Amino acid sequence: MKIGLLGGTGKEGRGLASRWAKAGHEIVIGSRDPAKGDNLAAADAEVVVVCVPYGGQAETLRELAPRLEGKVVIDLVVPLVPPQVTRVVLPPGGAAALEAQALLPGARVVGALHHVSSVHLGDPEHAMRGDVLVCGDDAAAKETAITLVADLGMRGLDAGPLANAVALEAMTPVLLYMNRKYKKAGLGLAIAGLED
């Protein structure tokens, strides 16, 4: 699959790009800097992953909206408010993914990967594990995202409609708090009981 990563030059985007490339996908890196990548070229991919900070999401998507019509757009943006990244703050639209869908009415936005740390993605020696909760209003788009999660070595689970992105995005500051509290890096999620 051809995957475009907007902000693919960043910590999270680079990790995703290298693991998906290893799984056989074609990767296009998006960047505001033409020397490092090309957001417009990334938007020509079949699946586009939004890997920019929350503060840059609206401007990035507004510019690309016509090119993202009909595409699966995986939004992993967490609306953190530095420096207080261990406290939940909901954005005006409820969730970054809901705001993305409002900016991209023709795209099939999925929220996912909010709890997958770049610390682990970027370490080629680290075997990825845990669950990735995937939400969205388009069933086929969610299935595409779940398949791509499997290609990272993780288990993707359908977590309901895009409105549930509020809960998924809000969980990241909780994990960031727990990283500090328990002196860990890159804590993630695993759902108990599915095998029972």
Ligand X SMILES: NC(=O)c1ccc[n+]([C@@H]2O[C@H](COP(=O)([O-])OP(=O)(O)OC[C@H]3O[C@@H](n4cnc5c(N)ncnc54)[C@H](OP(=O)(O)O)[C@@H]3O)[C@@H](O)[C@H]2O)c1
Binding site residues, ligand X, CB under 6 A: 7, 9-13, 31-33, 36, 51-56, 59-60, 76-78, 80, 114, 116-118
How far apart are the C-alpha atoms of 33 and 9, rounded to whole Å? 10
CB 86 within 8 A of CB 142: no
Cis-peptide into 161, omega within 30 deg:
no
Q: Give whichever of 52 and 72 is closer to ligand X, judged by the CB atom.
A: 52
DSSP annotation of 69: T
- Nearest of 160, 62, 169, 41 to residue 107 by alpha carbon: 62
What is the smallest separation between the CB atom of 54 and ligand X, expressed in angstroms?
A: 5
Token pair 């936005």 is at which residue? 109
Instruction: Tell me the closest approach of the beta carbon of residue 31 to ligand X, in angstroms.
Output: 3
Closer to ligand X by CB, 117 or 144: give it: 117
- Identify which of residues 10 and 153 has a Cβ nearer to ligand X in the complex: 10
Residue 57 Cβ, how far from ligand X at the closest point, in Å? 7
CB of 104: closest distance to ligand X in angstroms?
15
Tokens standing for residue 153 = 């070595």
Question: Which of residues 56 and 160 has its CB atom nearest to ligand X in the complex?
Answer: 56
